Structures are given as structure tokens and as C-alpha cells.
């Protein structure tokens, strides 16, 4: 085993690829038919409301269709034009679907400002779903690392504490019902003092007597939210345990990792430079025992662990 700085340098020398198939979501959404039905219902009701108002039908009659539309404005409606239009009105679908009066206001604006038709082609509904694909990538990084460990390094994926305790080499995910923070602290006799005490990390990896607790993030772009995620990884890197056999791993892949740990980082990128400096300061400190790695650094670390 080498020290923490070694695996950071391995990561620097082996940047992430531009494309990582582990994060591709290639199949059509399994609920595409439900989306199509919902979009058609919304379109038909919108057209009905417009016609009723043009014909000066009674408020009671029109309201009946507003209520039908409000009922149809569910989890499948985010791929309808009306579901997208709420973003142009400085609000969100989650807020509007709980506020009937605001929903009526936005519906009237949509009817007035947008073109109504009854078409609901599958290809553009899937295209809207694809634009939101990044929101579905939460566990893909974990799955990628679990696949490396189980397929290449002989680790067993376990779902219970009984299997975890009796396995020499295993991996599991933090979970709300079994491997949750309080139970992990009690079972492993550790502190797990993260900045956000309610936040669970991602993986627990056991190699003989050693325990590796890992947080994984995948970033391709920078910005405010991304800076927050990098800062979270840095805080994990700085966690300390009294037990000598417990280590933390901050894992970052995606092309943003290349910018953060690349050799030619510029001081003019103040936030990026400050984050990189924090990482290096820890890794160069005496007694550093936690790790910052990308994909290749992770593979090399567990290859050396055997």
C-alpha cells in the first residue's frame, strides 16, 4: 500500500474520459405510454377549456374542466407543454400542483400565450425526459464502483449486517432501513462526524479488518451547486477516526474532476484553486490516511489492497 498522495497522483496522471458509459441512460423511459396518455388528456382538456370560455359557458361548467386538468397534473405531466410552461412563470410543477388558484392562473396564461394542439408524439416526450436524465444519476456512480469491486476484485455485495460481519471482502450501500448512520456508528464503533449529521454517505467497503467509507460524486460542469458538492467531498477527506483501520474515500469522476486535479490549474480560477489547495494540503499533511481518487485512482487503490 502506498500513501494517500500516491493515489491522488495516479488520478492526476489518468484523467477521466469525456464519455463514461456507466452514466448513460439509453433505454426509453419504461413509463413512456403513461406519459403519452397523460399529455393527451391535458391537451384535450386545455382545448376544451379554451372552447368553453370562447362560447361563454358558465363558470361552473368551465371549473369542472379546470378541476379535471388539475387532477391530471400529476407526476407524468412534467413532459407536457403545460408542465414545462410553469418554469416560464417563475415557479415549479411541485408547487403548482398543490395550489389550485395559481394553477388556474398559469393555465389561462398558457392558453393565451401558447399554441394548442392535440398531438403527443412519443419522440418529443422522450426528448423532454432525456433532458432531465441527469436527475436520475444518483446511484449510477455507486453501481459503477460496486461493479468494479465485485467483478474485478472479488468483493461480495451484501444486504445484511450478518453477511457483512462474516465476509472478509464485501461492499454495501448506506440505506435508510439497515445500513443507516446510527447503526453504522454503533456496529463499527466509529464517529462518522460528517458536517451534515443527517446525510448518509454512499458505500461501506470491508477488506479484512479495514473499513473504507466512500462518498461518490459525478460532475461534468462547474457552478454553485457543483462547488457545494466539491466542498462536501473535501469535508469527508478531513474526517478523523480514532480507529486505525477506518478510512474515508472521496471519489470524484466526470470531466470536472480533470479540471479540479489537473496539473495546469490556474490561480485565476479562484474557487477551483482554493479547493485544489485544500485537497493537496490534507494529502501532504503528516498522518493523512483518507483518499481522494478518480476512477483509475480507485482501481489502483483496491488493486493494491488485494
Bridge-based pairing state of the strands 203-207 and 169-173 = antiparallel
Rounded-to-integer distance, Cα 191 and Cα 270, Å: 33
pLDDT tens digits for range 115-131: 999 999 999 999 999 98
User: What is the third-level CATH fold of 4-23+137-305?
Assistant: Trna Endonuclease; Chain: A, domain 1 (3.40.1350)
For the question of whether the overall pTM of this predicted structure is more than 0.95, the answer is no
Residue ranges covered by each domain of the chain: 4-23+137-305, 32-134
What pLDDT score does 274 carry?
A: 87
Among 7-11, 50-54, 58-62, 194-198, the range scoring the smallest mean pLDDT is 194-198
Bridge-based pairing state of the strands 169-173 and 156-157 = parallel
Q: Strand (E) positions, the chain?
A: 156-157, 169-173, 203-207, 210-218, 246-253, 291-293
Beta carbons within 10 angstroms of residue 6's beta carbon:
16
Q: What is the mean pLDDT of residues 47-66?
A: 96
Beta carbons within 10 angstroms of residue 219's beta carbon:
21
User: What average pLDDT is seen over the chain?
Assistant: 92
Enclosing H/E stretch for 164 = helix 161-166
Amino acid at each position: 500500500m502506498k500513501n494517500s498522495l500516491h493515489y491522488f497522483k495516479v488520478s492526476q496522471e489518468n484523467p477521466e474520459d469525456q464519455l463514461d458509459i456507466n452514466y448513460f441512460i439509453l433505454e426509453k423511459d419504461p413509463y413512456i405510454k403513461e406519459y403519452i396518455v397523460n399529455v393527451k388528456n391535458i391537451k384535450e382538456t386545455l382545448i376544451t377549456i379554451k372552447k368553453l370560455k370562447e362560447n361563454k359557458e358558465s363558470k361552473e361548467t368551465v371549473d369542472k374542466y379546470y378541476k379535471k386538468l388539475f387532477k391530471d397534473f400529476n407526476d407524468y405531466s412534467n413532459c407536457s407543454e403545460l408542465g414545462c410552461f410553469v418554469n416560464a412563470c417563475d415557479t415549479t410543477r411541485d408547487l403548482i400542483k398543490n395550489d389550485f388558484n395559481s394553477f388556474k392562473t398559469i393555465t389561462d396564461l398558457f392558453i393565451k400565450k401558447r399554441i394548442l394542439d392535440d398531438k403527443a408524439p412519443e419522440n418529443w416526450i422522450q426528448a423532454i425526459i432525456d433532458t432531465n436524465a441527469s436527475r436520475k444519476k444518483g446511484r449510477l456512480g455507486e453501481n459503477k464502483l460496486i461493479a468494479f469491486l465485485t467483478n474485478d476484485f472479488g468483493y461480495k455485495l451484501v444486504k445484511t449486517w450478518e453477511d457483512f460481519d462474516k465476509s472478509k471482502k464485501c461492499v454495501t450501500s448506506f440505506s435508510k432501513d439497515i445500513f443507516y448512520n446510527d447503526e453504522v456508528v454503533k456496529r463499527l464503533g466509529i464517529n462518522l462526524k460528517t458536517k451534515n449529521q443527517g446525510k448518509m454517505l454512499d458505500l461501506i467497503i470491508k477488506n479484512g479488518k479495514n473499513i473504507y467509507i466512500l462518498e461518490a460524486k459525478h460532475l461534468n460542469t462547474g457552478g454553485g451547486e457543483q462547488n457545494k458538492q466539491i466542498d462536501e467531498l473535501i469535508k469527508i477527506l478531513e474526517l478523523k477516526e480514532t480507529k486505525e483501520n477506518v478510512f474515508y474515500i472521496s471519489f470524484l469522476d466526470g470531466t470536472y474532476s480533470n479540471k479540479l486535479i489537473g496539473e495546469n490549474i490556474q490561480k485565476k480560477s479562484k474557487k477551483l484553486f482554493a479547493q485544489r489547495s485544500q485537497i493537496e494540503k490534507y494529502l501532504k499533511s503528516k498522518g493523512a490516511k483518507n483518499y481522494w481518487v478518480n476512477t483509475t485512482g480507485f482501481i489502483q487503490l483496491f488493486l493494491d489492497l488485494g
